[in-house]
Structure 1
């Protein structure tokens, strides 16, 4: 599968952090919100995945990109939330009926509904976050009016895994996800690869619980809600002596944070998508780092391009090289991370970019 790195604006995860500063006060609209400035004849729209626009993570980053683009273009926008997979098709149909010119679908699970809508409405531009919309698996997007924006987060997760192994005192780290789909498991697998690499370099035997690379399976909640089920899975990992925990799936980190707090132990939490230290200060003291995806920057540029008549369906994949993915600062953990370990992460990033270290993923070229 061939992708390009055409979007220079994505090479700036510092922008992700800056946008996230507004996250605490960002409210999700049910219908439309008006931008400012000169109004174009252009209506950008968005459909969320489960979790909603206030998940302080994946959907929220997409929504912030929509807001920023609409403001820059001086147009209104429409955004609708999906509570379940059964909402996808009807939400898309509603936006088509309301005259949307560009529709962003936030999430891997929306791909089938996005494809059906795109094929039925070839004059509308679609932007698919986290899926190439290649339902026939021939290596190309299945509709000419869909632009995929995807992220090889295994590369950044590799760094987080190496870091976790380096700071672990118990020699046991853990991860769990919302659903076993590629955009979730890519974090977990990259994390495990980083731990394995640390072990091979340092002669250690740090264990990873919650993900089995050989089986391609692990611990999953079955959804993306911060509920008792997610908390029980986190507790089960904590009971096995983990002292670093990576929950992958939007709000489920909140359940992990609650379990960590109740344990009374020093257990580091790793966030995903956004810098969770910024988007959710309530869990800030627990966070070792976050594995970042430049969703907001990618959405912003795709909508601005479309609004200016320059929609480009060429797929984009975020990597460490173009800074579409990365890891957040250590924040409150800064003094607990040895300088030598922090410096090593910089070296590892350079080796991944150069190709000297190959991180396996379904998006690896």
Structure 2
């Protein structure tokens, strides 16, 4: 019997010694944004629990934390995730120092001179998801004015903004309308107070649908929208509340990265989906199963990495024709018939030549 317990103890030590561990290191945005960071973490948790792996998160409080946090993670884990464009420089510096550890970067790609065999990165065609919500916003606005609030104007956020503007532009071209679009930056991903101030200002200027691309700052934008809607329709019953917004007009946020509608049913019209959860899930699985593929993976509508949410609470507010138009256009993007601009120069030249809605 003693031999049995000793054997079991030794097996346990061996198994624990070879346990595969995943650590995610956040940028200063941190968990709790209900968007980008939370979505990435959800994919890691799903993969880790599916395969019985250990997992942990280290949250950075300031940018000077990036290198020590990534280094600490590399010493403890088999695969390290760095989440957020602002971490890219620190990420590649640390990845070079730990060649035996897998590193996955979310939202940034390889510099040409740093093609490391232990590094995989994921980037997204953010402009494709926000194009769809921009088109939806243009078709749903009652004031003729829609807006997008970005965080820090880094490349992924700039693509969000350009795609949204392109979606409004496409709607105007197809429907011969003149919907106005405004783009502003909060210059932060972590300041709900500032998000609320921007939201209140935009609402006072008549913008009734506002896309968020600002991480945790959007929590304040959402608060401003909820307060405005409650002034207009102080109704507790959700179906009656949504019905009142439909009849009398309300203001809506458009979510970003994940399906955010569940955070404030009725107040969020739809969400531009950026499947950070798919990217992080794939990163874990490829590292653990030995299917590792160093290099960058770009996800868009074609790869099912970008899209628009199911609109679980507000789909009934959207006409069947507008919904069908969005599906039709999304399919054209997926097969390459429509190329969504990703730069200001491409946006200026953007025109849907030969594209007609066949219904």
For structure 1, the residue ranges without an aligned partner over 5 or more in a row are 1-37, 211-218
* TM-score where L is the length of structure 1: 0.81
Candidates 35, 40, 45, aligned match of 1:57: 35
Deviation sequence 1:270-319 (CA, Å, 0-9, x none)? 000110123x2xx2211110011111122112212211222211321111
Deviation sequence 1:179-231 (CA, Å, 0-9, x none)? 00011121111000000010011111100012xxxxxxxx2222112432221
**Aligned: 1:132 with 2:109:** yes
Cα RMSD after superposing both structures: 1.8
**Aligned: 1:43 with 2:21:** yes
Alpha-carbon distance in 1 for matches of 2:289, 2:322: 45
**1:66-105 correspondence runs (5 A):** 66-98=44-76, 100-105=77-82
2:86 maps to 109
- Structure 1 window deviating more from structure 2 (177-186 vs 229-238): it is 229-238
**Aligned: 1:193 with 2:166:** yes
- Structure 1 window deviating more from structure 2 (343-352 vs 72-81): it is 72-81
SS of 1:269 mapped into structure 2:
strand
- Structure 1 window deviating more from structure 2 (104-113 vs 257-266): it is 257-266
1:205 maps to 178
**Aligned: 1:118 with 2:83:** no
Indicate if the aligned counterparts of 1:112 and 1:133 stay in contact, CA closer than 8 A. Answer: no
**1:1-365 correspondence runs (5 A):** 40-98=18-76, 100-134=77-111, 138=112, 142-210=115-183, 219-263=184-228, 264=231, 266-278=250-262, 280=263, 283-361=264-342
Deviation sequence 1:154-179 (CA, Å, 0-9, x none)? 11111111110000110000111110
Indicate if the aligned counterparts of 2:21 and 2:78 stay in contact, CA closer than 8 A. Answer: yes
How many residues matched? 310
Whose relative contact order is higher, 1 or 2, with alpha carbons under 8 Å and at least 6 apart? 1
How far residue 347 of structure 1 moved from its aligned partner, in angstroms, is 0.8
How far residue 141 of structure 1 moved from its aligned partner, in angstroms, is 5.1
Indicate if the aligned counterparts of 2:192 and 2:217 stay in contact, CA closer than 8 A. Answer: yes
Alpha-carbon distance in 1 for matches of 2:315, 2:221: 21
SS of 1:251 mapped into structure 2:
helix
Give the greater-gyration-radius structure (CA): 2
SS of 2:323 mapped into structure 1:
helix
Greater helix share, structure number: 2
SS of 1:310 mapped into structure 2:
coil
* TM-score where L is the length of structure 2: 0.82
